[in-house]
């Protein structure tokens, strides 16, 4: 599915099952919470912290999808077309960083 299709799907779901969007500040807090859940799994599963038994069953993909869901909600309520924003952002990064990483000695070898 495209990002635009995902935005429509989320909007349709909210209108059908969610009653309404939470306000933007509530969704921003929710996004922060969801990113924290992803960070916890990554820190414990791939980082140096030990993974608690209660965290081992957590699905990283599902937690990432929660982040994407709330981000799409925020985009929908603020009138952002994420597909266009991503294309514009990639163009900006390409122009700005076209040789930056290639020239970075820290990334070589």
Average pLDDT over the chain reads 95
Phi, psi for 81 (deg, rounded to 5): -90, 105
Question: Under CATH, domain 3-82 is a member of which superfamily?
Answer: MazG-like (1.10.287.1080)
Kindly list the distances between the CA atom of residue 79 and the CA atoms of 11, 22, 73, 75, 97, in Å, as whole numbers in the listed order. 12, 15, 10, 6, 28
Q: Are 46 and 108 in contact (CB under 8 A)?
A: no
What is the value of pTM for the model shown?
Answer: 0.90
The domains of the chain are located at 3-82
User: Kindly report the CA angle at 89 between 87 and 91, in degrees rounded to 5?
Assistant: 70
Tens-digit pLDDT profile for residues 39-57: 999 999 999 999 988 889 9
Tens-digit pLDDT profile for residues 62-100: 999 999 999 999 999 999 999 999 999 999 999 998 888
pLDDT of residue 108: 86
- Residue 109 confidence (pLDDT) above 80: no
pLDDT of residue 98: 86
């Amino acid at each position: 599915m495209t990002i635009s299709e995902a935005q429509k799907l989320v909007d349709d779901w909210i209108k059908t099952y969610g009653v309404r969007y939470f306000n933007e500040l509530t969704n921003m807090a929710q996004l922060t919470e969801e990113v924290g859940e992803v960070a916890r799994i990554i820190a414990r599963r791939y980082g140096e912290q030990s993974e608690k038994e209660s965290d081992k069953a957590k699905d990283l993909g599902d937690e990432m999808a929660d982040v994407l869901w709330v981000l799409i909600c925020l985009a929908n309520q603020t009138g952002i077309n994420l597909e266009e924003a991503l294309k514009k952002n990639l163009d900006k990064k390409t122009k700005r960083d076209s040789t930056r990483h290639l020239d970075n000695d820290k990334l070589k070898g």
